[in-house]
Amino acid sequence: MLLEIENLKVHYHTRAGVVRAVDGVSLSIGEHEVFGIAGESGCGKSTLIRALMRLVPRTAKVTADRFTFRGRDLLTMPDRVFRRDMLWNEIALVPQSAMNSLNPVYRVGDQIVEAIRTHSTASRRDAESRVAALFDMVGLQPDLAARYPHQFSGGMRQRAMIAMSLALDPSLVVMDEPTTGLDVLVQERILRRLAELRTRIKSSILLITHDISVIAEMSDRIAIMYAGRLMEQAGTEAIFDEPFHPYSLGLQNAFPSIRALDRSLISIPGSPPNLINAIPGCVFAERCPFVREDCRTARPPDLEIAAGHRVACLRTADIAQIRAAAKEKATWRS
């Protein structure tokens, strides 16, 4: 296993109280695997990768039963070692806002050269030819490397960021909303490029997005995140064909499907809970049409329904009934 996370918690200690942005997440990512995390805005998915890349502010407390990368403990690793060995060599990031993640005063190529030379002994010339190769790989003209970020379009910047993330052949590329903010045509081109790159690079990908269709297209395995916890995780097929968690069912209803165009969309009523209040039971209970009394008092454990398919729900025994009811619009009326 590349990345192993067990019971990861990221808690922000604020004046108003403890914000449980990530509250007990367990997942693991293997070699050459694309792992997708889907969830609505504010569910903690960005905090999760911030914790992974040590970008959380000092006010945040990161704890876990297990948090390792290729067996090395990420919790106790000193900052210097983490920066030198982990960042970019092992874990690289394609940030959420490619538009603003390039420093406006430096040439795009130089910013990639900087990443390469920070983590390797490559000469400037070697680094530059590496940049040219990377640009070629993501479909950018190599001579664009001498341009400044403001001379790049949104799609070009996103490609440049992808090129930068691959600079040192990292074991894991974290992509935070890689297509958000781009127009659909550019999105499509980026996705196709990513799909093609998947077959050429040996890196695993951790893909984070609120766009279910992107996740479905790219991922081998998917986790559904809600209010700082993982509701369900399984192989892509399983999560779309045999979802167990009411939230997963609700999400599917809320997204248009190419397979059932005549189906009307059903949204989940209500809004996510305030994470500043400790929730003893299931975080989805307030919005769940299938809620039972015990859902509110005890946190549902991660149940392994099938190999690699884990669900945090107390009502998995009644799944046939729940799936049938979830298709009805009336069920989701609050």
Footprint on this chain of another protein (rule: CB under 8 A): 53, 55, 83-84, 86-89, 93, 95-97, 100-105, 114-115, 118-119, 148, 150-153, 156
For another protein, give the closer residue by CB, 159 or 221. Answer: 159
Minimum CB separation of residue 147 from another protein in Å reads 9
For residue 201, the minimal CB distance to another protein (Å) is: 19
CB of 107 to another protein, least distance (A): 8
**Between residues 156 and 222, which has the closer beta carbon with respect to another protein?**
156
How near is the Cβ of 41 to another protein at its closest, in Å? 17
Of 34 and 167, which CB lies nearer to another protein in the complex structure?
167
From the CB of 224, what's the least distance to another protein, in Å? 25
Nearer to another protein by C-beta: 168 or 212?
Answer: 168
* Least gap, CB of 307 to another protein (angstroms): 34
- 24: which 2 tokens? 């007990």
CB nearer to another protein: give 67 or 152. 152
Write a three-state SS string for the chain: CCEEEEEEEEEEEECCEEEEEEEEEEEEECCCCEEEEECCCCCCHHHHHHHHCCCCCCCEEEECCEEEECCEECCCCCHHHHHHHHECCCEEEECCCHHHHCCCCCCHHHHHHHHHHHHCCCCHHHHHHHHHHHHHHCCCCHHHHHCCHHHCCHHHHHHHHHHHHCCCCCCEEEEECCCCCCCHHHHHHHHHHHHHHHHHCCCEEEEEECCHHHHHHHCCEEEEEECCEEEEEEEHHHHHHCCCCHHHHHHHHHCCCCCCCCCCCCCCCCCCCCCCCCCCCCCCHHHCCCCCHHHHCCCCCCEEEECCEEECCCCHHHHHHHHHHHCCHHHHCC
Q: Closest approach of Cβ 270 to another protein, in Å? A: 31
- 125/150 with CB nearer another protein: 150
Of residues 146 and 265, the one with the C-beta less far from another protein: 146
